[in-house]
Amino acid sequence: MSHVYKNYRTWSASVRWFHWINVLSVMALIFVGLIMLYKKELGITSLDAKIGLKELHVIIGYIFATNLFIRIIFAFIGPASARFSAFIPGKGFRQNLQRYRESLKSGKPQQFIGHNPLGKLAVTALFTLLIILAISGLIRAGTDIYYPPFGSTVASYIAEEGIDPATLMPYQKEGVNPERMASLKTFKSPFGKIHLYTAYLLMLLIVIHIAAVVRAEVKEGDRLISSMFSGNKVLTEKPQDE
């Protein structure tokens, strides 16, 4: 059967740059995060190494969080393919999802210039997890190693009277008020749990996301993967969102 191929402009440069910087920084954060989690099993026991790993994770975290922050600005003021409306499920979403799923079952999948309805759900879930990770991570960066943006506030809170907060060292008791340190521990603990469980959820979603993208590439033939590099999709059917 012969197909008529038509080229469409899809993801804007801002979306593609965000996507690949996000992929690289998230991979690096997961890698360092897993080393932090299994440091004992890996034979990493010194306090300096523990702090060094956290500092490395946080520095990569700044790249990740800045990229995410810029992406969110583009979701408000950027081109159509970058806007929230391009992925957050809106009016008529249930029916669209139903129609899309039926088209998958019938073996003649609907094609889209932007996200298909399942893709919209995936992107919304991914963004939610990324935002939770960025916020909880930035809070823990402040409470654990006194790094920006909250580190100086945390250090000022726990420093003993007459001690310069800037001289406090992570995991050192000198110059720290014990009661305030205890209440800081109570405060920071849930953020550590949220951060960890969200990271696990993200890892699961990344696996599903990659499997779904590969399936769409193979079954729907819309060159989804190369479109995230080139910004072009080549479709054989009339797109549903033209």
Distance of alpha carbon 203 from alpha carbon 16, whole angstroms: 21
Candidates 2-10, 118-126, 192-200, 228-236; binding stretch for ligand HEM (CB under 6 A)? 192-200
Q: What are the phi and psi torsion angles at 83 (to 5°)?
A: -70, 155
Interaction of residue 71 with ligand HEM, rule CB under 6 A: no
Interface pick for ligand HEM out of 13, 23, 27, 37 (rule CB under 6 A): 37
Minimum CB distance to ligand HEM, residue 215 (Å): 24
Cβ pair 12, 78 in contact under 8 A: yes
Candidates 12-20, 129-137, 161-169, 224-232; binding stretch for ligand HEM (CB under 6 A)? 129-137
210: amino acid identity, one letter: I
Candidates 51-59, 89-97, 157-165, 224-232; binding stretch for ligand HEM (CB under 6 A)? 51-59
Cβ pair 96, 124 in contact under 8 A: no
Convert 177-207 to b/e letters by CB count within 10 Å (16 or more is b). Answer: eeeeeeebeeebeebeebbbebbeebeeebe
Interface pick for ligand HEM out of 15, 26, 82, 224 (rule CB under 6 A): 26
Q: What are the phi and psi torsion angles at 3 (to 5°)?
A: -115, 150
User: What's the distance, CA 177 to chain centroid?
Assistant: 36
Interface pick for ligand HEM out of 29, 75, 132, 154 (rule CB under 6 A): 29
Interface pick for ligand HEM out of 15, 122, 134, 158 (rule CB under 6 A): 134
Closest CA to 100 of 2, 239, 235: 239
Interface pick for ligand HEM out of 78, 137, 151, 165 (rule CB under 6 A): 137
Interaction of residue 62 with ligand HEM, rule CB under 6 A: yes
Interaction of residue 120 with ligand HEM, rule CB under 6 A: no
Using the Cα atoms of residue 199, residue 200, residue 204 and residue 207 in order, give the sign of their dihedral. positive
Binding stretches for ligand HEM (CB under 6 A): 26, 29-30, 33-34, 36-37, 54, 57-58, 61-62, 64-65, 130, 133-134, 137-138, 140-141, 144, 192, 195-196, 199, 202
